[in-house]
Chains A and B, each alone.
Chain A
């Protein structure tokens, strides 16, 4: 059973370009969470999705950031017009139910560098 997969593992963009980060949850998991981790910082929640639904996006910046989890295919975190401050590690996690006691399994992360 493959774990949570993320790609690309490393992404370099110039300021103003778009970044697309993909996350495939573990088999049987229908809940996906995206987190951002800045150097020397903790993980910050961004958005929680189920298939075709955004459940909670309270941690997502209002502008330039969007996320989706289509019926088929991976979840996508999209950052438009990237700025240097977007440079960070972006982790995706998945779980079976999204309940409070449910374990989240993390992917290896995508390290975004904005030049």
Chain B
């Protein structure tokens, strides 16, 4: 099993739709979780951290399920500008150097 797995998609949705992505991780000792967004041929940019209690930032909601070892990202009222690849990032609790592991990303295409 890969350390961090994401459905590559693409998810094709119309403007205004609600879409959700999941990301599973294999290391139960993982301590920190993030969602990044990467546009085509650009660098990844932090979208939001994922807290144990779940967190919301405008149209975006992130959830963590430690028991089932997955995190999720929900996007409401999708905009054309949301089209991008969404990367899940997991950081282990042990090992000393806190090296992040990135998923391969989920591609989202929002169409008119």
* B65: Cβ under 8 A from any A Cβ: no
A99 x B43 contact (CB < 8 A) = no
Interface residues of A in 81-115 (CB under 8 A from B): 89, 91, 98-109, 111
Of B43, B91, B98, which contacts A91 at CB under 8 A? B43
Cα-based distance from A1 to B34 in the complex (angstroms): 24
- B31 neighbours in A (Cβ, 8 Å): 100-101
- A65 neighbours in B (Cβ, 8 Å): none
Kindly specify which of B13-21, B54-62, B72-80, B102-110 makes contact with the partner chain. Answer: B102-110
B32 x A101 contact (CB < 8 A) = yes
Cα-based distance from A59 to B42 in the complex (angstroms): 22
- A100 neighbours in B (Cβ, 8 Å): 31-32, 91-93, 98
B103 x A48 contact (CB < 8 A) = no
B36 nearest in chain A by CB position:
A106
A41 x B46 contact (CB < 8 A) = no
A103 x B87 contact (CB < 8 A) = no
Supposing A42-B87, A43-B87 touch, asked if A98 and B46 sit within 8 A by C-beta, the answer is no
- A58 neighbours in B (Cβ, 8 Å): 99
* A55: Cβ under 8 A from any B Cβ: yes
* B45: Cβ under 8 A from any A Cβ: yes
A residues with a Cβ closer than 8 A to B are: 33, 35, 41-45, 48, 55-56, 58-59, 89, 91, 98-109, 111
Closest 10 CB pairs of A and B: A42-B104, A106-B43, A56-B97, A100-B98, A43-B102, A100-B32, A100-B91, A42-B102, A101-B32, A100-B31
B residues with a Cβ closer than 8 A to A are: 31-32, 34, 41-46, 49, 87, 91-93, 96-105
